[in-house]
Structure 1
Amino acid sequence: MSEDRASVAARVKQARILGGLTQKQLAAKSNVSLGLIRAVEQKKATATPAFLGAVSKALRVSVNDLTGQPYPPPPGEDTELHAAISVLRTELAAYDIDNAYVPYLRSLPQIAADVEKVCRYRRAASFHKLGDALPSLLGEVRAAVHRTSGRDREQALTLLCELYYAAHSLAHKLGYADLAALAIDRISWAANESGHGLWIATGQFQRAAILTSGGDWNSSLRFLERCRSDIEPRLGTGRRQDLIAWGGLHLQSGLAASRSGNRGLADMHLDEARQTAERLGDDRDPILSFGPTNVGIWSVALAVEAMDGTEALNRAQALTIPTDAPKERVGHHYMDMSRAYLLHGDRGRAFEALRTAKAIAPTQTRYNPMVHETVRALARAEARTVETVHGFAVWCGIAERL
């Protein structure tokens, strides 16, 4: 098979050479073992998110430079979906300017009904519907923010938070990291203007995620600790927003700790999140999806991040996912399960988990870089499955021979 020049392995090697570093020097700068760097470059090991964060920081490139995102869409309906990105980029840039193209505003209840649909699209990972709905609705709500005052303006700003969050979800899942980060800035602006505590925490949650994915785990942990210190005095009241924010921020801390290699700290944050979810008692949070089910999904993910496939599978056995759980979260769970099975040495089930993720959240699965890495690893590991896996790879947009 010919060399896959679009693989993470090839991109890491190229960035290292262009940076004038030997493998040994990169290992020292990134605090990643020399053996792992060699294994990734030789395609004997997959590039995990923790590896990508550490190496990208050492090489002074973005994670997207190493994964090759955003991936070009395959011919078909996804081309139009990606075309919506340019419109969203313009809309996010105009956040503090009234929209002259909206001469007449509908009532806020009418607008809120459409924003609620967008929330459902986001949670269902219905990205084509998001691409259709977001541009015009963002413009209308932006106009509402600038033409109202008092409680009406606060409501409009809260609606804008949901739309910015949906824009972030779409941009992030399609691999437009710069636009996703801009959307987080806009959430923070609108949340602070409205004073909505949970949306403020959501902006903090996603800001920490940017730090974590970029390999700055210590800054992420310090930032999250600072954010939780503002919430902690109010926990005694049992207010839902505070419990959701507190638990969600602990989950994000667990991810940063796991990526940094501190599994004990990750488990401590996971335990705090689990206790908070039990106190909350339900999965009805439509923003961070915080609740017992999502904590269970995160528990599997954190074990995968720790490269412990056996523990991830054990945790998954104790997890029952309700039929009405957000497809965005369930699809992500099966991507994690695929990595868990691969770590455990069960390639057949790893591929079946990918197929399940595709059935639940196809667009999200198609553009996920860890899915691409897993597909490449599966194809390399067992020749007799190459044609089946290759078909999945072509669907993902991996054109090169594996």
Structure 2
Amino acid sequence: MSTDLAPGANLAALRKQRGWSQELLARKAKVSVSQLSKVEIGDRTLTPAVAAAAGKAMGMTAAEVMGKTDVERGGKQPLNELRSAMRDYDLPGRQEVVEEELHAALSAAGQYRDDVEVKSLLAMLPKLLRDATAHAHRANTVASWTALSDVYSSVYWLAARHRWMDMAELAVTRQRWAVEQKRNPLGAALAARDRAGTYLNGGDYENGLVIVDRAIASAQRKLSGQERAFAVGVLNLRGMTLAGRLEDKKEGKREAERHIASARRAAEEFGEDWNRHHMIFGPQNTATHVLATRLDLGKPREALTVVEDIDAILAGLPPTRIAPTRINMARAQLDVGDRDGALENLSRAWDVAPQMARIHPMGREVFRVVTSLHRRSNPELLRLSKVSGIPL
């Protein structure tokens, strides 16, 4: 079910729908009643780990607790067309596909993804997927199947941002199928990274780590040079995020530090971050992921220390990385009592990626808590309320 509620408010609504008391949910989810109460009234953010625990207690995924986001007006038809194109994965059309035009469309889709232009990306994906499918079946080359895999990766990205987990899981299945048509170790590693993302959004962090570790071992055997470093690095970024959200924080810290160390070693191969297949790896993106991981481990001050030179870290990265990093900084600042800093970073996140305001669950949650803590509206809160559609 889609919702316009921020995650903490959505959790409260889900609990009440079941007729559960806060005490009952807290006991089943193994969190304190005080923490749950603060989350529900908006004095504390709902963390991914608590969302996963509450979801497990209620028989739901973490993504469902965070709340699905519906498409904007005019988006239902292209969404239905996209689902239809995904069903026809082995039924290539007879349309003529000009390879140069296909590559141009792939580049445009990647740019929309990097810039978080959600509406534009959804509008073009159905035709792009059908064209890439037809081209892959006809050409039957590594490059053509890689191109199709890249389209499915963008479908996964779009679905995961909205918490449409049925579509996300189908997309990664199709993505893996595409890269398996011709030997493609790098494509397989990137597909595994996206597959692990479905475990991340579902709250199954342990099995997500299994996927990551297995893919890292394969990439280390089958790739070499910077391609190996890129694949291993991207997978380690996913691994540290999964580890940071483990229920057992001692185990989470151990696993996170292992992936952080491995990612930093791989990043030494790059002077600046690479953007390949619209996945980014290098020293800068590693730092943004360490911030998020330290925060998920309950170490907000350590998290903020990682990004003390935040402008240099974010320089050159696309909005799809800048905005979530600013949101994570805002979340960390809330945890250390800096509500003004949190408001500033949330504002900067939504200014660089306005369409993320509506679909990013933690951004919406941070705004809800910032609003609650400020107790009264101010011009910036009013502006962000209009941008996000969240009433004060």
Q: TM-score, normalised by structure 1?
A: 0.87
Match of 2:387 among 392, 395, 398: 395
CA-to-partner distance for each residue in 1:342-390, whole Å, 9 max, x for gaps? Answer: 1221111211111111121111233111111111111111123356424
Structure 2: state its 5+ residue gaps: none
Alignment-derived partner of residue 307 in structure 2 = 316
Alignment of 1:119-268 (within 5 A): 119-149=110-140, 151=141, 154-234=142-222, 237-238=224-225, 240-260=226-246, 261=249, 262-268=252-258
- 1:54 has 2:45 as partner: no
Amino acid in the other structure paired with 2:89: Y
Alignment-derived partner of residue 358 in structure 2 = 366
Match of 2:321 among 329, 332, 349: 329
Is the 1:50–1:213 Cα contact (8 Å) retained in structure 2?
Answer: no
Taking structure 1 as reference, are residues 162 and 143 closer, same or farther at Cα in structure 2, changes over 3 Å only?
A: same
Amino acid in the other structure paired with 1:300: L
CA distance in 1, matches of 2:328, 2:84: 34
CA distance in 2, matches of 1:341, 1:16: 28
CA distance in 1, matches of 2:210, 2:292: 22
- CA RMSD between the two structures: 2.5
Moved more, 303-312 or 270-279: 303-312
Taking structure 1 as reference, are residues 348 and 216 closer, same or farther at Cα in structure 2, changes over 3 Å only?
A: same
CA distance in 1, matches of 2:10, 2:42: 12
CA distance in 2, matches of 1:48, 1:322: 24
Aligned residues: 384
Structure 1: state its 5+ residue gaps: 74-78
Alignment of 1:78-97 (within 5 A): 79-81=73-75, 83-97=77-91
SS at 1:46's partner residue?
coil
CA distance in 1, matches of 2:314, 2:38: 39
CA-to-partner distance for each residue in 1:295-337, whole Å, 9 max, x for gaps? Answer: 0111111122223222222111144236432221112111111
Moved more, 324-333 or 167-176: 167-176
CA distance in 2, matches of 1:110, 1:12: 45
Taking structure 1 as reference, are residues 50 and 390 closer, same or farther at Cα in structure 2, changes over 3 Å only?
A: farther
SS at 2:268's partner residue?
helix
Amino acid in the other structure paired with 2:313: I
Is the 2:357–2:364 Cα contact (8 Å) retained in structure 1?
Answer: no
Amino acid in the other structure paired with 1:96: D
Identity %: 27
Q: What is the deviation of 1:217?
A: 1.7
- 1:291 has 2:282 as partner: yes
Q: What is the deviation of 1:5?
A: 9.4
Q: What is the deviation of 1:59?
A: 1.0
CA distance in 1, matches of 2:294, 2:200: 16
SS at 1:193's partner residue?
coil
CA distance in 2, matches of 1:228, 1:44: 40
Q: TM-score, normalised by structure 2?
A: 0.89
Amino acid in the other structure paired with 1:325: L
Alignment-derived partner of residue 273 in structure 1 = 263
Moved more, 287-296 or 125-134: 125-134
SS at 1:36's partner residue?
helix
Taking structure 1 as reference, are residues 191 and 305 closer, same or farther at Cα in structure 2, changes over 3 Å only?
A: same
Alignment-derived partner of residue 346 in structure 1 = 338
Moved more, 224-233 or 248-257: 224-233
Is the 1:56–1:214 Cα contact (8 Å) retained in structure 2?
Answer: no
Q: What is the deviation of 1:175?
A: 3.7
Is the 1:358–1:366 Cα contact (8 Å) retained in structure 2?
Answer: no
Taking structure 1 as reference, are residues 330 and 42 closer, same or farther at Cα in structure 2, changes over 3 Å only?
A: closer
CA distance in 2, matches of 1:264, 1:184: 28
